[in-house]
Amino acid sequence: MIGLCQLYMNTNTFKINELKGPRIFSWTFLIELNNIIQMKFNFLIILAFLCFACQSNEISKTSADHSSEKSSNLSDELNQYFQALTDLGKFNGVVCLAQDNKIVLHEAYNLKEANETSLMVHKKNQFDVHSVSKLMANYLLMRMESQGIIKYNDPIIKYIQDFPNGEQISINHLINHTSGLPRDFSHFDGVLIHKSPEEIVELIKQEPLLANPGEKQQYSNLGYQLLYFIIGKIHDKSFEDYLITEFFEPLQMNDSGARYHTKSQKMHSMAMNHEMEDNGIKQIENVQNDEFSQSRIFSTAEDLQIMLSYFRANEDASTLAKDDIIQQSGGSDGVRVHVYTDVLKDIDWVMLCNFDGIPFEQTLQDVSNLLNGEPYKMPRVIKRVHTTLDKTILKRYEGKYSFPDMNKLSLEIKEVNGQLMVNQEGEEPTKLFAENEHTFFVDPDAAESFEFILNKDGKYDLQMGWRGIKLKGFRQ
């Protein structure tokens, strides 16, 4: 399901894994465009996206730094940032900022193409929040643990009988992605959305562990499906009903709810998801066949701000914070979400985007810097220049690279006539242009790069930019 590389395994930190990877789409031409699609991971589609940016603008690496210290009004700065991003064709969505429990910015930003179309959003729109539900589940588990209902070191066999290795896998392993379970299903490639939570658990039982429990961190959506199931089972109701009655309703998050497994019907103004295709921006279905029905939560910017302010005020929720920050990302085809609160500075920030062309990771870093009075880069046009490297340098990078968080996608890098080529079995090779000794690009108008990084073994790993996200590939 959701998940790309560069793992930050604690539930309170930004997880690239919350974003869905590409699905299969018919390949037309390289220097045009790609379509995000999950599970199939056709690499050349990714390269097509890298080239799509030639039709739009990106964030400049050479733009002048802007210090948020120059302005005491964070709302003005944040508004200017997202307006610039929107003007460049890179953002469509809703942003909410609160200081000292008072909303100081709540705006909808629409691309020029959005006028009177399904892309258009307004401030009250509901968005599917995807893995932000993990943050909600972690709060519920923390509260259940403090009430003595569960213990973090409980083996899951206590709650799911006959689960393979259930005596060794604990609640804490599932929370921290150290259960050994894979990210997603390796043996099932059918329709998931109609599977009940019980059926999903039965499918997870068939998955072999990638490592012994507690041995290593491997981001796992399957592990969280077990947690959602356990929370519901303990309370003799669905996870969704428990979340609504014990969390949303007491906090008066009146526009938040779930698509499935509840009788509560609160969906009334849902933003439609959109992705890029070769003929422009296209609306896609918000619910995909390869997604789980359990934990399909939706909310609004205002409701999510209520949640964040509650976390800040609740001392018990402090365990969700890392370095005084509680944050979580979520996303899927055509949608990106991020929530952020600084428990010391009393700052809440929510971003909901129904267009997957956003340079997601760069935006999160820029806004974090802006909110903390640190230098950040305003969005603007870029134009990259390539250089020529000696063949001996290029040959350092030859080899196969595996991307474990992209269904083990394998890419081969070769030097051909003084230029690096990217190869995937069954596809045409693609040229990489050198920006410097370690950084390469496909399109000079796009920020996405191929970066070769020396590891502790003296070999090079490959960090690949895709949809504003950095993906880590390891030398085979």
Q: What are the structural domain ranges in the chain?
A: 92-357, 391-475
pLDDT in tens, 52-86: 444 444 444 334 455 344 335 899 999 999 999 99
According to CATH, the superfamily of the domain at 92-357 is DD-peptidase/beta-lactamase superfamily (3.40.710.10)
The pair of three-digit structure tokens given for residue 12, joined into one six-digit string: 């309170």
Does the pLDDT of residue 12 top 60, yes or no? no
Tell me the angle at which helices 132-146 and 221-234 cross, rounded to the nearest 10 degrees: 40
Query: Which residue type does 77 have?
Result: E
Minimal CA–CA distance to 82: which of 94, 70, 71, 100? Answer: 94
pLDDT in tens, 291-348: 999 999 999 999 999 999 999 998 888 789 999 999 999 999 999 999 999 999 999 9
Determine the pLDDT at residue 29.
26
Long-range contacts of 32-37 (CB under 8 A, 24+ apart): 32/278, 33/276, 33/277, 33/278, 34/276, 35/275, 35/276, 35/277, 36/275, 36/276, 36/333, 36/334, 36/356, 36/467, 37/333
* CATH architecture for residues 391-475: Beta Barrel (2.40)
Determine the pLDDT at residue 467.
64
Task: Tell me the average pLDDT across 41-47.
Answer: 42
Determine the pLDDT at residue 443.
85
Q: Are strands 274-277 and 280-283 parallel, antiparallel or unpaired?
A: antiparallel
C-alpha radius of gyration, the chain, whole number: 22
